[in-house]
Amino acid sequence: MTVDRDQVLRTAAALLTRKATATMDEVARAAGIGRATLHRHFAGREALVRALEELGIRELEAALDAARLDADGAPDALRRLVTEVEPVAGLLAFLVTENQLFETEQMHEGWARIDARVSALFRRGQEQGEFRIDLTPAWLTEALYGLIGSGAWAVQDGRVAAKDFQYMIVELLLGGARRSVEK
């Protein structure tokens, strides 16, 4: 009888990922509940988006944990990261867009935590001589986000196969487009 708040959130995430401008009414219908009930659980669209943000951050941090970023070489850790992040990629893309849309009225601290962990991975790779040092960890982090977003959209629009998601992103990010003799 009682609405499953988490289920509603995931449905909303799936919908908003496809259509970022979806109405509260559309979100409610998608979740199979009434608009009034949706409002009882989330006091307005902003609250809903914030809840989604927290969900995204939670899942992303879970993905970071699962990827064991400190283990093995940085390249392998990066592979695991992208693999783990893949299911969250759509939500992530939505949240990033949402954030840069409504000029950050104050960024959630969770993003900073996540940025720090990802940056640390790239920094570790540089220190261990696996990553080049002329590209800053900050840029590599941004680039990773960008590629994940592009990958998510491309998969969603059917321009690339979902099964290639991880491979394409990691291969491009690690090795680049240039054909290398050492490969």
Partner DNA sequence: CCCCGATGAGACATTCGTGTCTCATCGGGG
Partner DNA sequence: CCCCGATGAGACACGAATGTCTCATCGGGG
Structure tokens at 82: 């992208």
- Locate tokens 């986000």: which residue? 145
Question: Footprint of DNA on residues 42-61 (CB under 7 A)?
Answer: 43-46
> Per rule CB under 7 A, is residue 39 in the interface with DNA?
yes
Q: What is the CA radius of gyration of the chain?
A: 18
Nearer to its own copies, 42 or 131 (CB): 131
DSSP 28-75: HHHHTS-HHHHHHHSSSHHHHHHHHHHHHHHHHHHHHHHHTTTSS-HH
User: Are 128 and 74 contacting, i.e. CB atoms less than 8 angstroms apart?
Assistant: yes
**Spatial distance between the Cα atoms of 133 and 110, rounded to a whole number of angstroms:** 27
Specify the 3-state DSSP secondary structure of 146.
helix
Does residue 112 belong to the site contacting its own copies (CB under 8 A)?
no
Per CB under 8 A, does 143 bind its own copies?
yes
Question: Is residue 100 a contact point for its own copies (CB under 8 A)?
Answer: yes
Binding mask 113-152 for DNA (x = CB under 7 A): ----------------------------------------
Q: Which residues bind DNA (CB under 7 A)?
A: 1-3, 23-25, 32-37, 39-41, 43-46
Q: Which residues bind its own copies (CB under 8 A)?
A: 18-21, 75, 97, 100-103, 122, 125, 129-136, 138-140, 142-143, 145-147, 149-151, 153-154, 159-160, 164, 168, 171-183
